[in-house]
Amino acid sequence: MNRSLGAPALKRKRPETDSPGLVDAERAILDSIKSKKDLGIWVRDIKLDTKLTDHVVNKSLKSLIAKKLVKEVVNIQYKGKKHYMAVEFEPSKEISGGDWYIDGNLDKEFIKALQDLCLWYMRSQRVATLQGVHNELKKSDVVNFELSAQQIEEILNSLVLDDEIIEVKSNGLGDYRSIPIGTICYRVASVAGVAKGSKVGAFASIPCGACPRINQCTSDGVISPSNCVYYNKWLDIEF
């Protein structure tokens, strides 16, 4: 993968000078398009804005594109409507869909590759945090492009929705001992013993599963949930 992410809306600065060789109609249309910056403008709105006829607008747009002053862009919200933008701008996330879209289409291959990388790392860990996954991918030789924490969080959320991983809170015990109490963590569903498709609630991180005295714990014994400091701490965190 050699995608370049997080490109700014303004690709390059150009002097705000009058473009030579433009007729009045082309200049009016170019001004209308430039006024929308990185949001682009629908051809019908250009006609309403400039009060020019369909024939003049269509002819002028072809000329502006040929002169490399204007480009056609895909708006994911209105794919059937042609939108235009001045060449010095890159489409905003509102119309491009952001990092998960390419040429107006959801980049499923890119998303799947990142999901697989996150799962690969998480399977090597009993439990992982967002920061841990992000740091691992940043120093991985497999990923040769910049990834933000927000992007990784969106990937992890998609894996939660797909029931590939579960989201829990650290209780500071067992597998969570190196993670501050209350921190959001993630575990691969199969490693956590959760069947895909099953719903996991707060009991996913109950300390009893990691307790070495679980076999000696009874409701009225010396070791019991009523006097267990870890269990009470977990109750305070989860509820």
Pairing of strands 83-86, 128-129: unpaired
- Residue 183: the pLDDT is 92
Q: What is the SS3 assignment for 143?
A: coil
Note whether 27 and 64 are within 8 A (CB).
no
Instruction: Tell me the pLDDT tens digit for each residue of 62-87.
Output: 999 999 999 988 777 777 788 898 99
Residue entry with tokens 């009016």: 28
Domains of the chain (ranges; CATH) run 24-99 (1.10.10.10), 108-238 (1.10.10)
Q: Residue 218 has what pLDDT?
A: 67
CA gap 10, 114 in Å, rounded:
27
Contact 119/165 with Cβ under 8 angstroms?
A: yes
> pLDDT for 20-32, tens place per residue?
556 888 899 999 9
Q: What is the pLDDT of residues 171-226, one digit of tens each?
A: 888 888 889 999 999 998 876 555 555 444 444 445 565 454 555 566 665 566 66
pTM reported for the whole predicted model: 0.49
> What is the reported pLDDT for 124?
85
